[in-house]
């Protein structure tokens, strides 16, 4: 299963590492119920089909999610012993401003039984250099697939309204 998620990351380009000095690390808090650690970021040039812009204190950074290039991938039950599944978020952000900026991200999972997970324990920050696009991905987060399946994924950006992203079952 881990190999399959790595393959999806490789296909999306989110797993590539660049050696340029503008690479940034997104920081994550981790959680008792998830296995989120520091997501990897990679610089690239993407189109700016964006949603939910945030601005830093001096008003010159404009960091936004490129929703058309962001998605989550979930497994269903992939551990027969526990009945758990895993979900990974692959996200693209663009900064159209002239100063470095950042955005705070909370991954959101909606389940088939109506439950929702938008825990602050999963929150992380993404730093985006001025005029650049970065791709980040979370590590695998565990969910109880034997109790409910993921129906949709979204993001809370800087505490604003949820932005939906594409979700794909492996």
Enumerate the domain spans of the chain.
2-169
Mean pLDDT computed over every residue of the chain? 76
What is the pTM assigned to this prediction?
A: 0.69
Buried b (16+ CB within 10 A) or exposed e, 28-52: beebeebebeebbbbbbebeeebbb
Predicted local distance difference test score (pLDDT) of residue 59: 61
Residues shown for the chain: 170
Residue 36 or residue 106, greater confidence: 106
The model's pLDDT over 136-155, given as tens digits with 9 standing for 90+, comes to 999 999 999 999 999 999 99
Residue 111 — pLDDT band, cuts 50, 70, 90?
very high
Each residue of 49-104: pLDDT tens digit?
Answer: 445 445 445 568 999 999 999 999 999 999 999 999 999 999 999 999 999 999 99
Q: What is the pLDDT of residue 41?
A: 36
């Amino acid at each position: 299963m881990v190999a399959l998620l790595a393959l999806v990351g490789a296909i999306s380009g989110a797993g590539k590492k660049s050696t340029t000095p503008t690479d940034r690390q997104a920081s994550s808090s981790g959680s008792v119920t998830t296995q989120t650690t520091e997501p990897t970021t990679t610089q690239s040039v993407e189109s700016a089909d964006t949603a939910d812009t945030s601005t830093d204190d001096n008003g010159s950074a404009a960091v936004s999610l490129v929703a058309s290039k962001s998605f989550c991938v979930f497994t269903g039950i992939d551990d027969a012993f526990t009945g758990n599944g895993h979900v990974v978020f692959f996200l693209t952000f663009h900064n159209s401003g002239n100063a470095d900026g950042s955005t705070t991200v909370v991954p959101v999972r909606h389940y088939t039984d109506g439950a929702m997970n938008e825990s602050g324990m999963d929150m992380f920050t993404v730093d985006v250099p001025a005029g650049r696009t970065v791709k980040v991905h979370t590590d695998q987060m565990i969910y109880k697939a034997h109790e409910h399946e993921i129906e949709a994924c979204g993001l809370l950006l800087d505490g604003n309204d949820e932005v939906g992203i594409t979700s794909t079952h492996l």
